[in-house]
Amino acid sequence: MPKQKTATPKAPAPLKAALPKRQASQALTPAFNARIEGIDYDILEELTGYAVRRAQLSIYADFTASLGAYDITPQRFSSLVIISNNPGISQTRLAEVMGIARSGVVAIIDNFEQAGLLERQDSGDRRSYMLHLTKDGHKQLAKYKRAVKEHDDRVSQHLTAKERQQLRALLGKLCMETK
């Protein structure tokens, strides 16, 4: 019986190198329609979680269209913002803040490091590194922030400034821990 070849895992590609694959997958993804005429949604129309999820899908689709050329996801963007504003944060603390597994943060950090946006600095503990954006990382983040602000303005254009503030406050209440 012939021996089967196994694929050798490759290190994450730098952000800019991943661009063509991401654009190709976006082209195959159909546009998200939060409400389809003629469909009976029954109890789903009464559920807060369902409404939030539908809104999130719509917002995510616009985010991807807006920042896909940069290969930046909401999670990657949030990571860069947190690291930028908390220089020296550890990978473990970043995982806690982001609400994701430490292994997920390691993959994000590896990608940023290979792209030259971030550097790990020794903390004195071999199991932990302090994270810092590079000069290019700060420059790229400024570009991403402008694109995210434009995206956010677009998806919330039908809300007044007061309604935007109220919506953020109400969503914050949904995130509060119950005892």
Query: Is the residue at 123 inside a domain?
Result: yes
CATH of the domain at 92: 1.10.10.10
Query: Is the residue at 169 inside a domain?
Result: no
In sequence order, what are the beta bridge partners of 97?
none
How many structural domains compose the chain? 1
In sequence order, what are the beta bridge partners of 132?
119
With the CA atoms of 28, 34, 38 and 41 taken in that order, what torsion angle do they form, in degrees rounded to the nearest 10? 120
Query: Is the residue at 35 inside a domain?
Result: no
Please give the average pLDDT of every successive group of 10 residues along the chain, which has 179 residues: 40 40 45 81 93 94 91 95 97 95 94 96 82 98 97 96 96 79
Structure tokens, 171 = 């969503």
Query: Is the residue at 107 inside a domain?
Result: yes
Query: Is the residue at 165 inside a domain?
Result: no
Domain that holds residue 119: 15-28+44-156
Query: Is the residue at 4 inside a domain?
Result: no
C-alpha 54 chain-centroid distance:
17
pTM assigned to the model: 0.77
